[in-house]
Amino acid sequence: MFEILKNREEVNYYLLLGVAVAIPNFPFLLPLLILLLGINWIIQLVQNRPRFNFSRIQLFLLVFYVFNLLGMFFTEQINMKRGWFDLEIKLSILLLPLYFSSFSVHSKNSILKILKIFSISATIAGVWHLVRSIYLYSAGLENYYVFFGDGFTNPLHIGYFALYINVAIFFALYFFQNAESKKHKFLWLLASCLLVFSLFLSSSKAGIISFVVVFILYGFYMIFLSKSSTNKLSFSIAFVVIGVLFSLFFTGNSKTMLRFKTAVSQITETEISPISEGSTQARIYAFKTSIEIISENFWLGVGTGDIDPVTISTYKENGYEGALKRKLNAHNQFLQTFGALGLFGFLSLVLIFVGLWFFGVTQKNELIIFFTTLCFLFALTESFLETQAGIVFFSFFSLILTSQKK
């Protein structure tokens, strides 16, 4: 019996490694991997009947799912199918906490191995996209723009690609500063540089701004809070190398620089047109629409399945043609959740982020702090918990990073 249970735990662990590999490379495999993890978990439940021992983060994630479920009571009948589909997408935020709460926590080394596998997988993904772009350009199948933006990240969405790469950068920097041999330090520094290079090629405005903010936070931690002179030296080396890469992309008229100039010009225009289809301008009207919906449905929201149809109909009523043509959601997870679930649903989401930050600070775990900050910044410009690409990534690493205390 013990051998069977041990084998099942090994299967679970390899499935977790599979999720770490699939997120940046094979997202289409995630539903299958989550399903297999669930099946193996149910078999273990029947054989072993373990006790559920919930951590705060696991409970916070479950509470958030419960509020999404309760939102179905306020969903119009015509949108019930849409609401159930939304709950299906968010299923990992229910299943993964149940899994992590019912079995023994993996060792610190096992968790670090998962983080390493993800970082390496993200690096490989960045290199693969670069090789693909070189091939398409040299074969005359694509023009210069295949090296930037969605031409570079295709088929992955620019924002999610940038989020994965961003998190992998700070995981890689962590392994760089803690590597014991010069060879491993060099390899992790190389991985960090390749990841930063991939991030800049993605031309994601939110991704690059988030990287700068968290890299400054990382530098503050290394210089003022870390007592290790080796860590300070490691950061100095990383700062110089990444600074050189940064200067390459933000001089002249690179595609990355042009995206930022366009965004600034759209924001600073005297009058922002509601019919503009520009990315930044359309999002401004998406924010305005979300605030309008929240003000009219403050306590309970419009319902899990109604939020997107109500948003679209509000665009039509107000003549926000740019946002309407793009069929934008709130493009802000906090506004999206507030509009759908009301005040208490919104607070349940805030509680997850506060809980993660609190855990990171009390456990003195910089990886959790960096991960949470990156996800928080991303949530300000994307409703990333409304897609499987975002919800699996966020719930998976929230639970992995908090499953082992120092």
Mean predicted confidence (pLDDT) in 389-401: 96
Give the pLDDT score at 52: 83
Q: Verify that 140 and 93 share a domain, yes or no.
A: no
pLDDT digits (tens, 9 = 90+) for 270-327: 466 777 666 788 899 999 999 999 999 999 999 999 999 999 999 999 999 989 999 9
Same domain, 308 and 395: yes
> Do 248 and 119 lie in a common domain?
yes
Structure tokens at 142: 């694509």
Report CA-CA distances (Å) from 148 to 66, 154, 244.
Answer: 40, 10, 19
For residue 34, being part of any structural domain is answered with no
Predicted TM-score (pTM) of the model is 0.93
d(C-alpha 361, C-alpha 358), whole Å: 5
The C-alpha atoms of residue 238 and residue 243 are separated, in whole angstroms, by: 8
- Domain stop point among 203, 235, 268: 268
Pair 348, 378 in one domain: yes
Asked if pLDDT for residue 231 goes beyond 90, the answer is: no
Give the chain's domain count.
2
Residue whose pair of structure tokens reads 């991704």 in the numeric block: 207
Domain membership flag for residue 33: no
Q: Which of 103-107, 149-153, 276-280 is predicted most confidently?
A: 149-153
Average pLDDT over residues 127-148: 90
Examine the domain organization and report whether 134 and 97 are in the same domain: no
- Please indicate whether residue 79 or residue 278 has the higher confidence score (pLDDT): 79
pLDDT band at 107 (very low <50, low <70, confident <90, very high): confident
Residue 36, both tokens: 């297999």
Average pLDDT, the chain: 89
Distance CA 52, CA 54 (A): 6
- 380 belongs to a structural domain: yes
Same domain, 257 and 345: no
**Within-domain flag for 215:** yes
Residue 43, domain member (yes or no)? no
Quote the domain boundaries for residue 279: 51-104+269-406
Q: Are both 57 and 163 inside the same structural domain?
A: no
Question: What are 251-260's contacts with CB under 8 Å, separation 24+?
Answer: 254/148, 255/144, 255/145, 255/147, 255/148, 255/149, 255/203, 256/148, 256/200, 256/201, 256/203, 256/208, 259/149, 259/203, 259/205, 260/205, 260/208
* Confidence check: pLDDT of 34 > 80: yes
Indicate the residue among 241, 268, 295 that finishes a domain.
268
Q: Kindly state whether residue 149 falls inside one of the protein's structural domains.
A: yes
pLDDT of residue 5: 47
- Domain endpoint, select from 268, 296, 328: 268
Kindly tell me the sign of the dihedral angle through the C-alpha atoms of 104, 109, 110, 115. positive
Residue type, 351: L
Whether the CB-CB separation of 223 and 234 falls below 8 Å is answered with: no
- What pLDDT band is residue 2 in, cutting at 50, 70 and 90? very low
- If you count them, how many residues does the chain have? 406
Q: What is the pLDDT of residues 191-219, one digit of tens each?
A: 999 999 999 999 898 999 999 899 988 88
Residue 6 confidence class, pLDDT cut points 50, 70, 90: low
Task: Tell me: do 263 and 294 sit in the same domain.
Answer: no
Does 117 lie in the same domain as 92? no
Instruction: Confirm if 305 and 82 have CB atoms less than 8 A apart.
Output: yes
Q: Are residues 132 and 184 in the same domain?
A: yes
Query: Can you tell me the distance from the alpha carbon of 125 to that of 167, in angstroms, rounded to the nearest whole number?
Result: 14
Q: Is residue 45 in a domain? A: no
Does residue 5 sit within a domain?
A: no
Looking at the structure, tell me whether residues 136 and 260 fall in a common domain. Answer: yes
Same domain? 347 vs 406 = yes
